Amino acid sequence: MDNPLLTLHNRRILLGITGGIAAYKSAELTRRLQDLGADVRVIMTRSATEFITPLTMQALSKHPVHLDLHNPDTESVMGHIELARWADLVLIAPASANSMARLASGHGDDLLTAVCLAAECPVAVAPAMNQAMWAKHPTQKNRAILSERGIHFLGPDSGLQACGEIGAGRLLDIDALLLEASALFATGRLQGKTVLITAGPTREAIDPVRFISNHSSGKQGYALASAAVDAGAHVILISGPTALTPPDRVDIVNVVSAQDMHEAVQARLPETDIVIGVAAVSDYRPQMVEAQKIKKGQCGEPTLTLELVENPDIIAEAAKHPSAPFTVGFAAETEHLEDYAKRKLAGKNLAMIVANNVANTQIGFNSDANATTIFWSGGELSIPMMSKRALSERLIAVIADRIEAAS
């Protein structure tokens, strides 16, 4: 990967600020993290507020600043446990000698130490203090204790300090801090890629009350979106109507009809590297949508005839877009699975197609499991029945393999 800082994209960084003159640098650190696509939330100790205001950090992070462990408002919405679960990384910068001592002693009587005790994600400490304080035996002992517990140390740096002395104890400069923080995250196979995924059904209106649709639940598309995020991608999820909660850290675009979905996809193709068309898009729509509800018997006949017209082929048009995204289609079939899937692969000029038999109720639209066969030019791979999330991880790995093989 050309830019190692890309591993910070889409990451949730919980920034802890403790009391010290270097606290002012946390403002730039927050801005730079956001520029890299990270979501930053801030915890400040009371002593930190003597050096930089919570209002400043709130304005920069675009989130309320967390100050107190026993705050009825924050504890009811996002208390220390929720904050710890939310974070991909707890980064304490600057970390004072006092904060290191409290962490080493296992304190949990303020918000920052309680979050560190509850965190299951990596915790990193960026020390900032006078060179004599850093060199003292208690500080070095605390450093050893914290390192043994798996806490990462970013710095400190050496040089001229605010007190006029020279030595080790300076907060790392922001560029070095970002680089070391980025190294704490494994490089995902889709790092730096933008992945557009369509999911769910579409609805084609007949009148203000009725519509044509299908049984798609959106579960497979949403699972793929989560797996792509975990692989480091920036994910755009264009979803038809579902009852699902959108995955974290995706750009969600809600649509209703096939034409809505077509327009949303076309608008975002220039920024997209990979398109995965999981949505069960209606092939046809009524030629005319009635302005009022159709009443039973109003035609004077016991039958009702609807004139249908073809919808745009969203995935085929994506495959031939000038931006040339790596395009993956889905084929939900009830018979002749391999034959129909291979026809779509060739006819729509797709890079890959994922075929599944929706006649099997164990892996149908509303199930939590799936089994597929993936086809590409000159190859295929069958994946046995497993959860849709596990299958999504396999699919993302295959997509990454094919992209690497083509490069």
Half-sphere exposure of 237 (CA within 13 A, CB side): 28
Q: What's phi and psi for 259, nearest 5 deg?
A: -65, -40
Q: What is the DSSP letter of 363?
A: G
What is d(CA 356, CA 341) in angstroms, rounded to the nearest whole number? Answer: 9
Query: What is the maximal distance between C-alpha atoms in the chain?
Result: 96
* pLDDT value at residue 74: 52
Architecture per CATH, domain 194-406, reads as 3-Layer(aba) Sandwich (3.40)
Other CB atoms within 10 Å distance of the CB of residue 195: 28
pLDDT digits (tens, 9 = 90+) for 53-90: 999 999 999 999 999 877 666 544 457 788 888 999 99
Q: Are 279 and 312 in contact (CB under 8 A)?
A: no
36 alpha carbon, distance to own chain's centre? 14
Cβ neighbour number for residue 300 with a 10 Å cutoff: 5
Amino acid making up residue 351: A
Round to whole Å and give the CA distance between 361 and 9: 39
Q: Which of 116, 121, 163, 299 is catalytic?
A: 163
Residue 12, pLDDT score = 92
4-182, what's its fold?
A: Rossmann fold (3.40.50)
Sheet bearing 12-17, strands edge to edge = 39-44, 12-17, 89-95, 123-127, 152-153
- Output the pLDDT for position 299: 67
Predicted local distance difference test score (pLDDT) of residue 28: 96
DSSP count for the chain of H helices, then E strands: 14, 19
Query: How many angstroms separate the CA atoms of 277 and 238, rounded?
Result: 10
Q: Which residues contact 77 (CB under 8 A, 6 or more apart)?
A: none
* pLDDT of res. 72: 63
Intervals of CATH 3.40.50.1950 along the chain: 4-182
pLDDT for residue 77: 47
Predicted local confidence at residue 97, as pLDDT: 95
**163 is annotated as an active-site residue:** yes
CATH 3.40.50.10300 domain span(s) along the chain: 194-406
Q: Which residues pair with 254 in a beta bridge?
A: 239
Instruction: Please list the ranges in the chain whose pLDDT falls under 50.
Output: 1, 75-77
- What pLDDT digit, counting tens, does each position of 350-363 carry? 999 999 888 777 77
d(CA 261, CA 212): 15
Neighbours of 339 (CB within 10 A): 11
